[in-house]
Amino acid sequence: MNAMVESVFRSREVECLVAGVSVSDGAGVKLFRVLTADLQGRLDPFLMLDEFRSDDPDDYLAGFPSHPHRGFETVTYMLAGRMRHRDNAGHEGLLTAGGVQWMTAGRGIVHSELPEQEDGLMHGFQLWVNLPARDKLTAPDYRDIPAEAIPGYVADNGVTVKVIAGESDGVIGAVQREATAPLYLDIDLPPGAVYSVAIPTGHNAFVYVYQGRVDLGQRGRRVEARQLAVLSNAPEAEGVLLRGPDGARLLLIAGRPLREPIVQWGPFVMNRREEIETALADYRDGRF
Ligand code: FE2
């Protein structure tokens, strides 16, 4: 879709704007937590989104030494820098600028994520996508997708879109998931660009602006850099209308809600408390 349909395109609007929080995780890595735990219900199936962006090695050098996950998927998207992944299922990979790592923790994985640089900019995102109850104990899986293998397109108004997951404007993304049908787009809006993006009806959706600012929806609600906009779920809306008066870069993320109970204990996300206790015991006793 393009600017020509702007006048008739039925857009989702901003339901609310959320400011993230600065946190420290792993062995002391400074992060900006964009999607916090209190949004897990509203933005089901998404559990967390962190942005890491620093050119101070003290903020990232310690990395994320060996730690477990169970019950969901982690999606790491690098914009700058290099990160080495190793896990107990024998996978190893180097994540570089523009690349994506899609890891299904399933019944359990123990991995480390360590920077492979001693200076310079490290910038990227980690998204947690929930698994349906029936898949929480599935076999762990891991995929490294280098930048050149991520499909994308440039619209006639100069808007650049990378399709990490799902489908946009007929372009099939690098990853497809049946239960949650995630749409994960990285969109670069040149100054003055107007762009409309289709989003499946019923998907929960949000936009995170990581550079510049965006006027969103027919109402043109301003979303500043480092703000997350929760999008309304109006059934008649076809997607979302974006305007970048001064240019912007943003993530558009949407997914089909699972509507199942969410019980999180740190790196384990299950449906019931007893399943968390089982996860803790399994990890402690080396069954991951
Ligand atoms: Fe991890």
Is the separation of the CB atoms in 131 and 138 below 8 Å?
A: yes
Is the separation of the CB atoms in 196 and 11 below 8 Å?
A: yes
How many angstroms separate the alpha carbon of residue 258 from the centre of ligand 1? 22
- Please report, as a single letter, which amino acid is at residue 57: P
How many angstroms separate the alpha carbon of residue 168 from the centre of ligand 1? 28
The model's pLDDT over 255-282, given as tens digits with 9 standing for 90+, comes to 999 999 999 999 999 999 999 999 999 9
pLDDT at 8: 79
- For residue 3, is pLDDT > 80? no
- For residue 1, is pLDDT > 80? no
75 closest CA partner among 203, 185, 230: 185
How many angstroms separate the alpha carbon of residue 232 from the centre of ligand 1? 30
For the record, the structure tokens of 58 come out as 């003290």
The model's pLDDT over 24-50, given as tens digits with 9 standing for 90+, comes to 999 999 999 999 999 999 999 999 999
How many angstroms separate the alpha carbon of residue 72 from the centre of ligand 1? 11
Is the separation of the CB atoms in 22 and 32 below 8 Å?
A: yes
How many angstroms separate the alpha carbon of residue 43 from the centre of ligand 1? 21
Is the separation of the CB atoms in 136 and 157 below 8 Å?
A: no
C-alpha span between 199 and 183 (Å, rounded): 8
C-alpha span between 97 and 124 (Å, rounded): 9
Is the separation of the CB atoms in 79 and 105 below 8 Å?
A: no
Could you tell me where the DSSP H helices lie in the chain?
A: 273-284
Q: How confident is the model at residue 7 (pLDDT cuts 50, 70, 90)?
A: low
- For residue 134, is pLDDT > 80? yes
The model's pLDDT over 141-184, given as tens digits with 9 standing for 90+, comes to 999 999 999 999 999 899 999 999 999 999 999 999 999 999 99
How many angstroms separate the alpha carbon of residue 228 from the centre of ligand 1? 22
How many angstroms separate the alpha carbon of residue 260 from the centre of ligand 1? 23
| pTM reported for the whole predicted model | 0.96
User: Any idea which residue has 């991951």 for tokens?
Assistant: 288
Helix (H, G, I), strand (E, B) or coil at 163: strand
How many angstroms separate the alpha carbon of residue 31 from the centre of ligand 1? 13
The model's pLDDT over 92-105, given as tens digits with 9 standing for 90+, comes to 999 999 999 999 99
How many angstroms separate the alpha carbon of residue 73 from the centre of ligand 1? 10
The model's pLDDT over 224-238, given as tens digits with 9 standing for 90+, comes to 999 999 999 999 999
How many angstroms separate the alpha carbon of residue 74 from the centre of ligand 1? 7
Is the separation of the CB atoms in 70 and 288 below 8 Å?
A: yes
- For residue 197, is pLDDT > 60? yes
**Percentage of the chain exceeding pLDDT 70:** 98
Burial class (CB in 10 A: 0-12, 13-18, 19+), 203: buried
How many angstroms separate the alpha carbon of residue 111 from the centre of ligand 1? 6
| Mean pLDDT (the chain, rounded) | 95
Q: Measured between alpha carbons, how far is residue 186 from residues 78, 183, 227 in Å? A: 11, 10, 15
Q: How confident is the model at residue 118 (pLDDT cuts 50, 70, 90)?
A: confident
How many angstroms separate the alpha carbon of residue 267 from the centre of ligand 1? 8
Please give the sequence-ordered ranges of beta strands (E in DSSP) within 12-119, or none if there are none. Answer: 14-19, 21-25, 29-35, 46-54, 64-69, 72-80, 83-87, 92-95, 100-104, 109-115
